[in-house]
Structure 1
């Protein structure tokens, strides 16, 4: 998301709807206008999406959570050699690293600050015209701007706004401008599930934004969709529909994907961006570590690739240790589900998706009310960053329209 300071943002807003602008500005001027909600929202500024089709309120959602996490005795590695050896132990054949390092369940009840972009179609004159919001969850080592990538046609936020949808994208816990608690025992998959539920309930109750939404579509990418599936297993009635992108039913490729990422201590890679993080936060050290699992040459713009690499986020040891725990089916979810994958997805299909996305649909959402699978040609794992992104966006948005959302 393009985030100029508030003054610059207000100058840009002269071409947007005055009514929407004034409504958003009123939230900045009176951030405590809605007391007693389940999550407080602290507005920070107003900006546009990449192609200016959406006008967005940026702010911190204070999300109360109670999560049943796992307490590990794993220690933060003192240096990269120890971190690499840990990854080897986690991924080796017949690994017992996780059970050997598990102490037991641990309940965490707290409030976390989650950085969000809450976007409306810029052409609207009233927030009441928007009937559906989409909550967008990014994948490993990415950030919320995965949904608003700089490029000619790579912003899903823009595409959704042009189709009449509001969107809420956010930095997952432990990423960029969201809170960074204990990266082993707090930033875990189960916690992400609870934060997602908190955001969903926040938009349903009108805690932040301009209105309450009855229709909440949930879109996840990669690890973000694994979080989504874990969420739908526990809260099958929360989402009106699910858009599952960059995921499959083939769990066996995740080990090679993790190795391709080349997990490297984040503050060693980029002290300027990650210098305040502990050694339990990892990132991608080189552009090869991004291209190998995520991109398929030559089907992407080099400038878009560079933008994704330059704005990469982090991931934690806690996430790596707990991903399998939530990779579970959601048999009680009965809403519409669309699965969208790139033809050459390396991370979840080993480079050849074929029937694997359909396997994901039937295995993880066996009772979906209506389901569809779309395989996007000439596309790797990070769908939104490829030249074919508009095809994926069209399929996703058309699916929602066909299902009355």
Structure 2
């Protein structure tokens, strides 16, 4: 078991120091008792709460503590106070409050595991002291090699790494805990190994271009009025198998306790081309993750294959739209089965942006039972301006255009060529913050030749999907509406009937005035987030 830092506890016997698993007496600082006074009350069937330090928000009594208390007895009120200490100096001030609460959640889970040990072990009783209960847990966990507590409380960072129990299943390594951009959600992120096989990829008769001139020529040939390039390059269906590392982030409303107390519905959000999972949690006020958490939803975002911190395999034959649909399917199944953080979600609402919406249609079509609702953003039935879009992209070799970030990638990975390319395709001036635009351009992400030539292969009517559908666009979306989603009529309106003929529930649409294709990053994005969350609530999700 890895070396533990000190944990200070308050229980009915007074403050103690648990140092590397040994219980020792520890003098108590009076100001710490003022900071949080969460002491067991033997006369009551629950812990009482208090907070005497001026300027601190009230610490709520977590319902799950009551639940565990009723199951295991008052001894579990040791969860009243658990603070990490290094060299006996307490990291306790208002910006760290969430860290304290997170430790409470983990220790609550620890107690819950102890209360449900195998029948060969003695179940703790109400006469068991609080400290003894935690020591009992540590001893059990050390035997099972399932408990490690390590923190990084470096000044200036809100992220820490806390591995605890077997409940952190699904991630390859210890997930990193952080807050969402607006502080409304607690998020756990890391790599997930996803074994997957698809039979839907296409054998492309395309060699990697040798240089930028060859890249430009491929797109020039594609856009030529008499082009037969697609027919020339398209071969038979191909099977691709492998285990791919996908970097993902699972977020819960602040003060949730996975897996004991979590929302029943998770929003499964897929980003589009040129972005990574950060598109859904870009900045305070521009975060669907924050808005969803405030509305009581969990969110799952991830870097698609070939993007961000996920694997970057063969950019022509492997990173294609069909394989990405099957990766999304595998991830959704993990969420439904409780394979991530031990949290099982009964409802999954899929939400996509642009290529992520294309993926969402593909998932609902091929795996209709995967999702309970579909939210499409930056999407319409029209592909009339796709050629203009890819001309605007002025696609550039990622390893040359962004050598510091993507220098190790093959010539099959591309990025938009310039800030002007990003503006024309994704933004509508002046309806966005220039700082957000610059941040997005500095973090622009890759796409592949394999994706480009298989973009629409997964799109087919989802005839067996019977849930509700929401279609959302920016009024001035260039990619799917050539700059005007109300011309010649509302481009949102026909989507559900054409692609989801069996859709039920309360379907809806929304148009964000003045927004371009990257509508999450435009003024008024919060209106769209509110609409999407209200759509789910109106359908009982």
Q: Shared topology, TM-score over 0.5?
A: yes
Distance in 1 (CA, whole Å) between partners of 2:269 and 2:167 is: 25
Provide the residue aligned with 2:267 in structure 1.
Answer: 134
Provide the residue aligned with 2:360 in structure 1.
Answer: 228
Quote how far apart the aligned CAs of 1:297 are. 0.9
Q: Deviations over 1:218-272 (max 9, x none)?
A: 1100001101111111111110111110000102221111111111111111111
Q: Indicate the structure with greater helix content.
A: 1
Provide the residue aligned with 1:42 in structure 2.
Answer: 173
- Structure 2 residue matching 1:84: 3-state secondary structure: helix
Provide the residue aligned with 1:342 in structure 2.
Answer: 474
User: Quick check: 1:138–1:146 contact (8 Å CA) kept in 2?
Assistant: yes
Distance in 1 (CA, whole Å) between partners of 2:463 and 2:96 is: 45
User: Quick check: 2:168–2:175 contact (8 Å CA) kept in 1?
Assistant: no
User: Quick check: 1:137–1:225 contact (8 Å CA) kept in 2?
Assistant: yes
Distance in 2 (CA, whole Å) between partners of 1:168 and 1:20 is: 20
Distance in 1 (CA, whole Å) between partners of 2:207 and 2:258 is: 52
Quote how far apart the aligned CAs of 1:193 are. 0.4
CA 1:33/1:126 → structure 2, altered by over 3 Å: closer, same or farther?
closer
User: Quick check: 2:473–2:519 contact (8 Å CA) kept in 1?
Assistant: yes
Q: Deviations over 1:194-220 (max 9, x none)?
A: 011011000001111241001111110
CA 1:41/1:241 → structure 2, altered by over 3 Å: closer, same or farther?
farther
Quote how far apart the aligned CAs of 1:42 are. 3.2
Distance in 1 (CA, whole Å) between partners of 2:474 and 2:355 is: 15
- Structure 2 residue matching 1:374: 3-state secondary structure: strand
Distance in 1 (CA, whole Å) between partners of 2:448 and 2:258 is: 41
User: Quick check: 1:218–1:242 contact (8 Å CA) kept in 2?
Assistant: yes
CA 1:45/1:331 → structure 2, altered by over 3 Å: closer, same or farther?
same
- Structure 2 residue matching 1:146: 3-state secondary structure: helix
Pair 1:390 & 2:526 matched: yes
2:392 aligns with one of 249, 260, 269: 260
Pair 1:15 & 2:146 matched: no
Question: C-alpha root-mean-square deviation of aligned residues, in Å?
Answer: 2.1
User: Quick check: 1:266–1:277 contact (8 Å CA) kept in 2?
Assistant: yes
Distance in 2 (CA, whole Å) between partners of 1:34 and 1:47 is: 15
Distance in 2 (CA, whole Å) between partners of 1:129 and 1:174 is: 31
What is the TM-score of this pair, normalised by structure 1?
0.92
Distance in 2 (CA, whole Å) between partners of 1:326 and 1:336 is: 20
Quote how far apart the aligned CAs of 1:45 are. 1.2
1:122 aligns with one of 238, 241, 254: 254
How does 1:278-289 map onto structure 2 within 5 Å? 278-289=410-421
Provide the residue aligned with 2:493 in structure 1.
Answer: 358
- Structure 1 gaps, min length 5: 1-9
Count residues with an aligned counterpart. Answer: 392
Deviates further, 156-165 or 351-360: 351-360
User: Quick check: 2:162–2:174 contact (8 Å CA) kept in 1?
Assistant: yes
Provide the residue aligned with 2:437 in structure 1.
Answer: 305
How does 1:95-244 map onto structure 2 within 5 Å? 95-125=227-257, 127=259, 128-150=261-283, 152-244=284-376
Quote how far apart the aligned CAs of 1:43 are. 3.2
Quote how far apart the aligned CAs of 1:124 are. 3.0
Distance in 2 (CA, whole Å) between partners of 1:79 and 1:133 is: 43
Quote how far apart the aligned CAs of 1:366 are. 2.0
2:515 aligns with one of 359, 365, 379: 379
CA 1:159/1:34 → structure 2, altered by over 3 Å: closer, same or farther?
closer
Quote how far apart the aligned CAs of 1:330 are. 1.4
Deviates further, 257-266 or 177-186: 257-266
Deviates further, 24-33 or 132-141: 24-33
Provide the residue aligned with 2:163 in structure 1.
Answer: 29
Q: Deviations over 1:99-158 (max 9, x none)?
A: 2123322111211100001111113356424111111100001100000112x4101111
Distance in 2 (CA, whole Å) between partners of 1:21 and 1:256 is: 52
Provide the residue aligned with 1:7 in structure 2.
Answer: none
Provide the residue aligned with 2:39 in structure 1.
Answer: none
User: Quick check: 2:258–2:342 contact (8 Å CA) kept in 1?
Assistant: no
Quote how far apart the aligned CAs of 1:28 are. 4.9
Provide the residue aligned with 1:402 in structure 2.
Answer: 538
- Structure 2 residue matching 1:76: 3-state secondary structure: coil
- Structure 2 gaps, min length 5: 1-90, 111-147, 150-160
Distance in 1 (CA, whole Å) between partners of 2:370 and 2:527 is: 28
User: Quick check: 1:205–1:212 contact (8 Å CA) kept in 2?
Assistant: yes
User: Quick check: 1:134–1:168 contact (8 Å CA) kept in 2?
Assistant: yes
Quote how far apart the aligned CAs of 1:294 are. 0.7
